[in-house]
Structure 1
């Protein structure tokens, strides 16, 4: 399981932060939509406790350094071992981080949906529903082998 957030990285912007938990294939296990001002550690704790309660088979998670001690300690109490994946400071340019790239790839798949990329939704619950619909569409296209063009191809 990989824990990730969308790319607001401490910027002072109005909007939402999408925190997701995926399995090792990149399929969505849980999602939490919060205000962009909410810290990643504060969002990670309820997300991991939700996953632990709903899917007790998850025992290991990989996260970035934004999910600090609060989320890690809370996940340990719920029975999930969280390993922080850090970037090597000597590395230059883009380098996919082990295990973390799975969640980043899932966020990339979600951003292929115009409604999620532009964030038209007024309520966080609607934004969460659109994420679930996008994942349902992705999984059904994989099962059927259909390759439907996205809005970017037009």
Structure 2
């Protein structure tokens, strides 16, 4: 893929270095069985672009990965975070009730 122009919402190198190990572990734990073809940094940059601009997923500029791929990553991670937050909330309630 050719080098694309940077957007203001893109991760800086130090930000990416901070979150990359966590995302790589998450991707490996999913065990999709095939080699990923989409770079995680570009997926995160696309998610940040949508969050910052407020556009619909399908209006992502063409220099990002396909909107279906980006949304798929977002949906899976969002659901995982929501589930984890729900479990933590239930745990806190149980501790408080005891």
TM-score of the superposed pair, with normalisation by structure 1: 0.25
More helix by share: 2
More strand by share: 1
TM-score of the superposed pair, with normalisation by structure 2: 0.35
Structure showing greater relative contact order (alpha-carbon pairs closer than 8 Å, 6 or more residues apart):
2
